[in-house]
Amino acid sequence: MNRAFNRRKDKSWMHTPEALAKHFIAYNAKFLGNTEVDQPKGTEVVKDAVRKLKFQRHIKKSEGQKTPKVELQISIYGVKILDPKSKDVLYNCQLHRISFCADDKTDKRIFTFICKDSESNKHLCYVFDSEKCAEEITLTIGQAFDLAYKKFLESGGKDVETRKQIGGLQKRIQELENENSDLKRQLKNLEEQLMIAKVQPADSVSSKSPTDVFDMIPFSTVTPLVPVPANNGKPPPPPARPADPKKDLFGAEPFDPFICGAADFPPDIQSKLDEMQRQRWRGSKWD
């Protein structure tokens, strides 16, 4: 484990061993990001990484993006990088995978460490910005290394396997926590959609029948025509017929060629009518 902590060996650490062994020390800082490096250690390696990430952050700042803030939790098991509000674990850097750690002597706010990624096996350099605690955070990570190494010597090397198992469990816990956060967000979205679905019918459904643009109820061929009842509740009477049966609805007498006078027709027509009248009379007589 190579590290650059720039301290005297007789200088006491800042925290109690119990704080780092049984709990963790938390710090807040700005996260400039991480980038892949070719070497697992080296001052020049981290300087190049810092220059690269500072330039990228300058471009993002010109576009209106702010540098995100994170929470660092340091213990003998590693360095966790969390979202300060949701407490979601963004990165979990196990201590035995951290190969180099240093603060920038030219810029007192910057500190870095190099960690080997557990999935890609690439070396990534993490860069942070802390206005007041950069050197303190670097020394705290150094103290965690010192305590972990002492514990390794006391356990005769058995503690390495234990820490690897713990690291694997921590990774699984992180995955489950992320899944739990996603499920909570999905559940919240479903609840909001359900509330919207409950509110819309109450506002949109009207007690009145649907009408067209002229506020008229549209005609439906399926709807039966119901007679409008009279005031007494009975259907209206049929139309009244004429009092005189010899007259039609307009008051005119019906035309009957057999009862018209002889002077009404020419002689030839009248003779034919008389013949038809006699045939009619004989037919009615035999009936």
The model carries a pTM of 0.54
Asked if the structure places residue 195 within a domain, the reply is no
pLDDT of residue 5: 46
Asked if the structure places residue 256 within a domain, the reply is no
Runs of H (alpha helix) within the chain:
17-21, 43-62, 134-155, 158-204, 267-286
113: domain range? 17-156
Asked if the structure places residue 82 within a domain, the reply is yes
Q: Distance between CA 77 and CA 55 in Å, rounded?
A: 32
Task: Indicate the number of domains in the chain.
Answer: 1
> Which tens digits make up the pLDDT trace of 224-257?
555 555 555 566 666 555 555 566 666 666 666 5
> Which tens digits make up the pLDDT trace of 201-228?
555 545 555 666 556 666 565 555 555 5
Q: Domain containing 25 — which CATH number? A: 2.30.29.30
Asked if the structure places residue 129 within a domain, the reply is yes
Give the pairing of strands 89-94 and 110-116: unpaired
Nearest-CA neighbor of 181 among 265, 87, 50, 63?
Answer: 87
pLDDT band at 274 (very low <50, low <70, confident <90, very high): confident
Q: Distance between CA 39 and CA 97 in Å, rounded?
A: 13
Asked if the structure places residue 229 within a domain, the reply is no
Q: Across residues 106-113, what is the average pLDDT?
A: 92
The residue assigned the tokens 């690439």 is 122
Burial degree of 79 (CB within 10 A; 0-12, 13-18, 19+): buried
Asked if the structure places residue 251 within a domain, the reply is no
Q: Distance between CA 261 and CA 192 in Å, rounded?
A: 95
Asked if the structure places residue 55 within a domain, the reply is yes
The secondary structure of residue 230, as a DSSP letter, is: -
> Chain centroid to CA 69: how far?
25
Nearest-CA neighbor of 254 among 243, 262, 245, 266?
Answer: 245
Poorest-confidence range of 52-66, 129-143, 253-267?
253-267
Nearest-CA neighbor of 114 among 30, 45, 27, 24?
Answer: 45
Residue with the bigger pLDDT between 83 and 170: it is 83
pLDDT band at 6 (very low <50, low <70, confident <90, very high): very low
Evaluate if residue 53 carries a pLDDT over 50: yes
Asked if the structure places residue 246 within a domain, the reply is no
